[in-house]
Chains A and B, each alone.
Chain A
Amino acid sequence: SQTIHQWPATLVQPVGSPLSLECTVEGTSNPNLYWYRQAAGRGLQLLFYSVGIGQISSEVPQNLSASRPQDRQFILSSKKLLLSDSGFYLCAWSEGNYGYTFGSGTRLTVV
Chain B
Amino acid sequence: GQNIDQPTEMTATEGAIVQINCTYQTSGFNGLFWYQQHAGEAPTFLSYNVLDGLEEKGRFSSFLSRSKGYSYLLLKELQMKDSASYLCAVKPTGGYQKVTFGIGTKLQVIP
Contacts and interface: CB of A to CB of B under 8 A. Distances in A.
Contact of B31 (A46, A90, A97, A100): A97
Contacts of A94: 96
Given A34-B97, A43-B101, A105 B31 contact: no
Q: Is the interface of A mostly helix, strand, loop or mixed?
A: strand
**Chain A interface extent, by class:** 20 to 34
Nearest to B43: A102
B92 interface: no
Interface in A18-42: 32, 34, 41-42
Q: What is the size category of the interface that chain B forms with chain A?
A: 20 to 34
B73 to A, nearest CB: 14
B35 A59 contact: no
Contacts of B95: 32
Point out which of A41, A57, A97 has the most chain B C-beta atoms below 10 A from its C-beta.
A97
A102 B38 CA distance: 13
Nearest to B46: A99
B97 A105 contact: no
Interface of B: 4, 31, 33, 35, 40-45, 48, 50, 87, 89, 95-97, 99-104
